[in-house]
Amino acid sequence: MPAGLFPFPPRSRLRPSGGPRATTSLQPTLADRASTLLRPGWARTVAARRGAAALLALIAVVAALRDGPSSGRSPAVVAVRDLSPGHTLTLDDVELADRESASVPSGALTLLS
């Protein structure tokens, strides 16, 4: 065949001379096995993505079923409405509310009396 008739070389020239089949052995060394495991492949990539998705779904389920931090809350006396300066407080002006412990200042009232 003349070289100008076909724009592509024959298939035998497209393959690399030292392909993966040429380097595999029936008794691979530890380094050969490690390099095979570290080489990305389509099936391994899909399995890794599915494993990551399953792990994230499990974390989401555990987070949804877990109780909130109830021990980090404490009661505090708060005003029911805006109060003007000099107003004498009555029990109708305040109520006991459950707040996060970090937001309750030290010395705040925690009981209505």
pLDDT, mean of each 10-residue run, the chain (113 residues) = 57 50 74 82 85 97 81 87 91 91 87 83
pTM of the entire structure?
0.37
Instruction: Please tell me the distance from the alpha carbon of residue 67 to that of residue 35, in angstroms, as a whole number.
Output: 45
- How far apart, in whole angstroms, are the C-alpha atoms of residue 102 and residue 73? 8
- pLDDT value of position 16: 52
Question: What is the per-residue pLDDT for 7?
Answer: 62
Closest CA to 39 of 27, 29, 28, 31: 31
pLDDT at residue 6 in the model:
58
Check residue 81 and give its pLDDT.
Answer: 92
Q: Give me the pLDDT at residue 45, please.
A: 85
